[in-house]
Structure 1
């Protein structure tokens, strides 16, 4: 996702900022965990899927419970034209239950003909909807989360082996997760056991923190990248996110705008968590 984000920032970044100069990279086998509110998570994942399909030619599988009704406003308002054929590269799959999600992912290799273009990106939107269900014990939620991401990795490895024969990009995995503290009244400082499990499998973490702006601005988030799978962060340490932050602003019409941030200004804003790289 990190290389795709470079394209997203360049395409949808503010014209007043030098977002076009941003270049990010990750290890080829890196997968990404997007952590934040489910609504902003989904918006970012949709932009990533559309950008991967339209700008990079990737075939994308997008797993989500909720029906996708229309293109994001950000894409509709973009001055860059979107080729209609590129949307055909995205396949939306709507598993309603954990069992359906596991079956869809596990049977993916059976649905891919030898001569068909292989998926280069697997996206699971809102994994908490499949893991953190009512009355499920905590230890069961942890094992379920591990099961999902392990299966995704196995599937991506299978697709990677197949892609090497056809000289296609290796398959990447993106999973989004809304922690208990985001919109559910949980304690933001309490350890999230499911999040800890997901982090073991997903080498890059993309945090989206709601910004509390004293000037009264609404709908702003701080996007922060960290993790051992990240390269080119300028610090030599992928665990840190200094210099790897962006302000994500949602315009009144719902469009997202990305603005590079060197570091959050403490005198003008606050975020919900003080440590981008290790909140739990």
Structure 2
């Protein structure tokens, strides 16, 4: 999945940084699942960018699961890709399961003809895992975060996502050489202690790569005349020989009008 995220960042790279040539590494089966950790709003924009980029640039069919109705595409997409083909958008199927049970059922049925018409998805996106795992009640009432039942639910959902992607990979071959990928977002209850979040401990067993979004201090944004600046880290990446690769670092620049660009660090 990190190959698609890298393609997203390259596609929306700051024009002042355009002289840097970036390549997208071939996908490794061990890094075909990525967890985006950080602010819910920014994470959703990144997931939408990934879905639209995969559909328009790679011709990938995408299924996008989320709680909230998608009213419009991120402003940066509207500005940077004003002529986005309707046929590309048709490759993205949005689905709105309300509970983790509904999500599990829909993921489990992705291989069925009614769900895969005209062909199975090559990218599974889940926006806001925390909403499905914790529900409206927050952390479930346990002092350490998730209670044992919710830990089991997190493991069940993550395992099903990865197993479904593996099954769809076999189903898609030989029409596609690359694996079906999974990208999901998660926001910790306490962003300051996200590293100790028990939910992440469970999810990290299944998601082999992490995209972490850290908001920079306000002075950095103000100095650049921007509304927000975010540090973006891609970690846990491995190459096709399953060797660990260096963490990739980017900056996400958001202008006062909502325009988003990425910059290589």
Cα distance, 1:80–1:216 mapped onto 2, change above 3 Å = closer
* SS of residue paired to 1:249: strand
Is 1:258 the counterpart of 2:262? The answer is yes
1:201 equivalent in structure 2: 206
Distance 2:111 2:195 in 1: 39
1:139-158 aligned within 5 A: 139-158=148-167
User: Per chain length, whose mean CA-contact separation is higher, i.e. which structure has more relative contact order (CA < 8 Å, sep 6+)?
Assistant: 2
| TM-score relative to the length of structure 2 | 0.86
Cα distance, 1:86–1:114 mapped onto 2, change above 3 Å = closer
1:14-163 aligned within 5 A: 14-18=14-18, 21-25=21-25, 26-30=27-31, 31-78=33-80, 81-112=83-114, 116-133=118-135, 134=137, 135=140, 137=142, 138-163=147-172
**How far 1:237 moved relative to its partner?**
3.9
Gaps of 5+ in 1: 262-280
Paired residues in the alignment total 250
Distance 1:123 1:87 in 2: 15
Distance 1:13 1:139 in 2: 42
Task: Check the 8 A contact 2:188/2:194 in 1, yes or no.
Answer: no
Which sits farther off after the overlay, 216-225 or 94-103? 216-225
Task: Check the 8 A contact 2:213/2:232 in 1, yes or no.
Answer: yes
Distance 2:81 2:118 in 1: 32
Task: Check the 8 A contact 2:30/2:238 in 1, yes or no.
Answer: no
Is 1:224 the counterpart of 2:228? The answer is no
Distance 2:12 2:167 in 1: 33
RMSD: 2.3
Gaps of 5+ in 2: none
* SS of residue paired to 1:16: helix
